[in-house]
């Protein structure tokens, strides 16, 4: 694939959702975070494996009026699974604590030597959820396969940079998470050509066209790109290069092959030759006074830059479609930038479905049956 991309001279953008997940997974490499998450994981596994604890946990949920949600266990290879596990743990923490205090659970805790969750662990869990929620939401934003995503990448990175910048009031735990995650994300998209494309895509997205601080150079690049787009579609041949076709029967009569034979004039054309000549002069004068292509592009860019950004709830592709009469050149150029970025999200979702379908308890399923179950799950 890399060879094909180089030969076609196209730009290769890695899956942004995958890049976000790789950054989120860096927290597994921190020893303090690994030990803290292991204690929460042990509690989740303990609740899931014991039917007695499940019954007690459900009772406490009803008594406390909590949502009837099951606890979630993280899987390192699944995107954002650590965040989802901790988020559900924070939501159900009162029920978990109440289950720990139940006499029936006390005996099982002693037998299983389960380490209790401390208040410090819970505070860390709250900090972790507050910190990683934006990363999770960003992953959902760029995992769409039906809406334009290329114009979102730089604004999302800017928002994540602000969110993940270490502050003086941050605890050691929060600062470590921020450094690990942003330390990985900041190394991505360093290629100059890719960054230039993403900057131009950001300006062509009417939702984020005001997000770039130093954008004058990018606007100039867009003007050049629009000019190339228009000139590339010009099928007209310069007058100097135009030649009139000569019939095969008359080729022999042409002594000099470089001399272009004058076209035959009809009787009507000969009759109104003077009027046609004046008409041609008028057309030439009209063309010289009409705005040039470059002037049209400048006018469209000037008007577009003066517009307010649209809400993020609107579809930028539909917006350009509605404005194609006002911005004929830019609306055509927008199709180059407002594309749906190739993503590994659909395949990752299929892998997750396969993991949920083929578990240890259902290990005797035949491959044909697994294929049918996955197909029905994704298509029905």
For 50-62, write each residue's pLDDT tens digit: 888 889 999 999 9
Domain that holds residue 363: 345-379
Residue 372 counted as domain residue:
yes
Same structural domain, 278 and 363: no
pLDDT for 9: 66
Asked, for residue 68, whether it belongs to a domain, the answer is: yes
**Residues 117 and 220 occupy one common structural domain:** no
Average pLDDT over residues 251-263: 48
What Cα–Cα distance (Å) separates residue 142 from each residue in 27, 161, 282, 295, 311? Answer: 21, 17, 54, 36, 17
Q: How confident is the model at residue 228 (pLDDT cuts 50, 70, 90)?
A: confident
**Is 244 inside a domain boundary?**
no
Half-sphere exposure of 364 (CA within 13 A, CB side): 1
Domain closes at, from 94, 119, 143: 143
Please give the helix or strand (H or E) that residue 83 lies within, else none. Answer: helix 81-91
Angle at 373 between CA 372 and CA 374, to 5 degrees: 95
221 & 122 share domain: no
Is the same domain home to 303 and 349? no
Residue-level pLDDT at 288: 54
Residues 287, 358: one domain? no
Q: Could you tell me if 269 and 275 are in contact, meaning their C-beta atoms sit under 8 angstroms apart?
A: no
Last residue of a domain, one of 109, 128, 143: 143
Domain count, the chain: 3
Q: Does residue 271 form part of some domain?
A: yes
CA 125 vs. chain centroid, Å, equals 28
Q: How many CA atoms lie within 13 A of 61 on its CB side?
A: 16
Residues 110 and 224 in one domain: no
Residue 174 lies in a domain: no
- State how far the Cα of 181 lies from the Cα of 252, in Å rounded to an integer: 78
Residues 277 and 331 in one domain: yes
State whether 108 and 222 are in the same domain.
no
Shared-domain flag, residues 227 and 325: yes
Is 44 in contact with 85 (CB distance < 8 Å)?
Answer: yes
Reported as a pLDDT band with limits 50, 70 and 90, residue 111 is low
Confirm whether 56 is domain-assigned. Answer: yes
Query: Among residues 296, 297, 291, which one has the least CA distance to residue 224?
Result: 297
Supply the pLDDT for residue 241: 36
286 and 351 belong to one structural domain: no
Q: Is the pTM of this model over 0.75?
A: no
Residue 259 above 60 pLDDT? Answer: no
Render pLDDT for 147-182 as a digit per residue (tens, 0 to 9).
Answer: 667 888 889 999 999 999 999 889 999 999 999 999
Longest dimension (CA), the chain: 113
| Mean pLDDT, rounded, of the chain | 80
Instruction: Please say which residue of 143, 170, 193 terminates a domain.
Output: 143
Position 337 confidence tier, pLDDT thresholds 50, 70, 90: confident
Q: Kindly write down the DSSP assignment for every residue of 84-147, as one continuous string.
A: HHHHHHHHTHHHHHHHHHSHHHHHHHHHHTPPPPPHHHHHHHHHHHHHHHHHHHHHHHTT-SSS
Q: Are both 349 and 330 inside the same structural domain? A: no
Cβ-contact 124, 319 below 8 angstroms: no
- Inter-axis angle of helices 172-185 and 153-163, to 10 degrees? 150
Identify whether 164 is part of a domain.
Answer: no
Q: For residue 326, is it left (φ>0), alpha (ψ between -120 and 50) or beta?
A: alpha
Around Cβ 36, how many Cβ atoms within 10 Å? 19
Question: 27 or 234: whose pLDDT is higher?
Answer: 27
| Residue 163 domain flag | no
- 351 and 274 in a common domain: no
């Amino acid at each position: 694939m890399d060879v094909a991309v180089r030969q076609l001279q196209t730009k290769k953008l890695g899956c942004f959702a995958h890049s976000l997940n790789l950054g989120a997974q860096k927290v597994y490499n921190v020893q303090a975070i690994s030990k803290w998450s292991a204690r929460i994981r042990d509690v989740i596994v303990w609740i899931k494996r014991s039917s007695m604890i499940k019954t007690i946990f459900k009772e406490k949920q009803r008594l406390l009026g909590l949502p009837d949600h099951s606890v979630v266990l993280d899987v390192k290879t699944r995107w954002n699974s650590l965040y989802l596990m901790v988020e559900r743990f924070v939501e159900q923490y009162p029920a978990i604590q109440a289950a720990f205090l139940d006499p029936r659970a006390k005996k099982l805790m002693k037998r299983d030597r389960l380490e209790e969750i401390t208040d410090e662990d819970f505070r860390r869990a709250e900090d972790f959820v507050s910190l990683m929620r934006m990363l999770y939401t960003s992953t959902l934003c760029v995992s769409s396969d039906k809406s334009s995503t290329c114009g979102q990448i730089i604004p999302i990175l800017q928002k994540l940079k602000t969110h993940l910048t270490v502050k003086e009031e941050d605890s050691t735990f929060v600062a470590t998470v921020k450094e690990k995650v942003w330390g990985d994300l900041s190394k991505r998209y360093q290629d100059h050509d890719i960054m230039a494309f993403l900057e131009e895509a950001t300006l062509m997205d009417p939702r984020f066209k005001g997000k770039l601080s130093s954008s004058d150079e990018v606007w100039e690049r867009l003007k050049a790109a629009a000019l190339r787009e228009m000139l590339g579609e010009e099928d007209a041949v310069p007058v100097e290069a135009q030649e009139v076709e000569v019939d095969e029967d008359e080729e022999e009569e042409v002594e000099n092959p470089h001399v272009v034979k004058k076209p035959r004039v009809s009787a009507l054309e000969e009759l109104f030759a003077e009027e046609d000549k004046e008409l041609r002069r008028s057309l030439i004068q009209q063309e010289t006074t009409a705005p040039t292509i470059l002037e049209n592009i400048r006018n469209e860019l000037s008007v577009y830059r003066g517009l307010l950004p649209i809400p993020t709830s609107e579809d930028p592709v539909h917006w350009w479609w509605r404005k194609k009469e006002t911005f004929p050149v830019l609306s055509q150029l927008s199709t180059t930038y407002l594309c749906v970025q190739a993503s590994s999200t659909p395949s990752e979702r299929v892998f997750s479905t396969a993991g949920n379908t083929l578990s240890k308890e259902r290990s005797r399923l035949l491959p044909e049956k697994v294929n049918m179950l996955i197909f029905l799950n994704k298509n029905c």
